[in-house]
Amino acid sequence: MRKLLLATAASLSTLLAAAPAIAQPAKPVSPGTVLVHLNGYLQFMIGAVGGNGMSGGTGVTAYKNNTIGTMGDIRLYPGFDGMTTSGISYGAQVELRTALSNANGAGVNGNGASSNGVNSLYVRRAYGYIGTEDYGYVRFGQGDGAFTLLQRGVVEAFGDGAQWAADGGLVNLLPSGKPGEFIYADQGALYTTDKIVYVSPSIEEPVLDGKISAVVSYEPNSNGIKEGGATISGNVSQLNDSIAGGSANRRRNTVDGMVDYSVKIAGFATKMSGGYLHSSPLGNLTGAQAYSPMGVWQFGAQTTYTGLATDSDTLTFGANAKGGSVADGYGFKVKGGRDALAYIVGAAYANGPYALGATFFDSQSAAGVGAGKTRSEYGVAVGGNYVVAKPLSLFVQYLYGHTHVAATNTQAQAVAAGATIKW
């Protein structure tokens, strides 16, 4: 359970062990000792993009974007793992990222003191933990909840390692028209908020010799670790969104729980999970509440077979479905809007230093009030990797996404080659 505690459910294979979605990997610690670590991650790619949004403006301000672009990301994972002499594990993990910068050229794009650029790091995850394998673990701080930790069936171990849920990946090269991320629970809308999480110990299941575990989390509001949230006037963080009629993005009293079952039969290592997330919008004293409470279910499964062509190659299949009263991107849907429903299917094959993978997702969600107001989205991701050395993976990846709202269709696609370095 230490590995589950310290890494998110989106953890990839060693091929992409530092992909955008992961937290700090578990470190074995002897009783009475502390192990400090500073891991890191760098990714860079160059690619070609196309679709809606490649041009804009009118008259003398009309423009056309370059079809060739680059994208990169740098992350640092400082933290420590410790164990008391009595066998209680504890520690803290932080994930730092580089901020997005303005495309102003002239050397001010994130590497100077000019206000036109950005040269800062920011905290994406920051949490502590304490517990034991026998009694479970408690996590506290800004990090992953149950919906993220036990997401199964979302195959991401290929290409840039996160596909449509990437921050700093190929998806950020796409022009306007790219689809949303509701099908992915490993996204910032869920894991960048302050919460308390309980990770249960594994329970042996005697019939098939499997294991059952669970995660439950509670998030009082959608603020980060240093934003509080006791009052409106005393905390500017509460003013990030208008509270007139509630707020489409600010959650209140979010509770989510997931149950996971894992078993290995005839060479197939299978993991299945299911659960529910509930949240309320901000209350308002006058007027009718504009948004419905959030209620989202999730079910997923994945299986990995080892030894298909060689003794060590692996073939993984996965599928995940989510739905309920929620807007795309885990916001609150407007009252009268349709419930969301999305699914994703995918597969990945790894043999020695090579890996191939592909996924397809389809999502339907509310695009306003009333019947027929639907946002229909789908996306395809295909990628391959060659592991030069354990810390270095070269990759190619292709993305295509399509969004349909009313009579408007938008599409975006990109293909790129890049490298991921993890230390």
Tell me how far apart the alpha carbons of residues 305 and 262 are, in angstroms, rounded to a whole number.
14
DSSP helix, strand, coil percent of the chain (3-state; round to 5): 5, 50, 40
Whole-angstrom distance, CA of residue 137 vs CA of residue 305: 30
Q: How confident is the model at residue 64 (pLDDT cuts 50, 70, 90)?
A: confident
Which has more pLDDT, 195 or 235? 195
Question: Pairing state of beta strands 203-205 and 136-142?
Answer: unpaired
Percentage of residues of the chain with pLDDT beyond 90: 54
pLDDT > 50? residue 18? no
Identify the pLDDT of residue 6.
Answer: 33
| Residue pLDDT, tens place only, 343-397 | 999 999 999 999 999 999 999 988 766 555 888 999 999 999 999 998 999 999 9
Domain count, the chain: 1
Flag whether pLDDT at 26 surpasses 50: yes
Average pLDDT over residues 184-196: 92
Q: What is the pLDDT of residues 260-306, one digit of tens each?
A: 999 999 889 999 999 999 999 887 667 778 888 999 999 999 999 99
Q: Greater confidence, 317 or 176?
A: 317
Q: Tell me the pLDDT of the chain averaged across its residues.
A: 84
How does residue 9 score in pLDDT terms, banded at 50, 70 and 90?
very low
Q: Is the pLDDT of residue 117 over 60?
A: no
Residue 397 token pair: 């990846």
* Pairing relationship of beta strands 392-405 and 121-132 according to DSSP bridges: unpaired
Identify the band that residue 336 occupies on the pLDDT scale cut at 50, 70 and 90: confident
> Residue 155 belongs to what domain range?
2-422
User: Which stretches of 192-337 are DSSP H helices?
Assistant: none
Q: Residues near 36 by Cβ (< 8 Å), separated by ≥ 6?
A: 79, 80
Amino acid making up residue 67:
T
Distance of CA 377 to the CA centre of its chain: 18
Biggest CA-to-CA distance, the chain: 73
**Is the pLDDT confidence value at 23 over 60?**
no
Among 20-29, 142-151, 297-306, the minimum mean pLDDT is found in: 20-29
CATH code of the domain containing 118: 2.40.160.10
Instruction: Give the pLDDT score at 1.
Output: 38
The label of the residue with tokens 């009118």 reads: 58
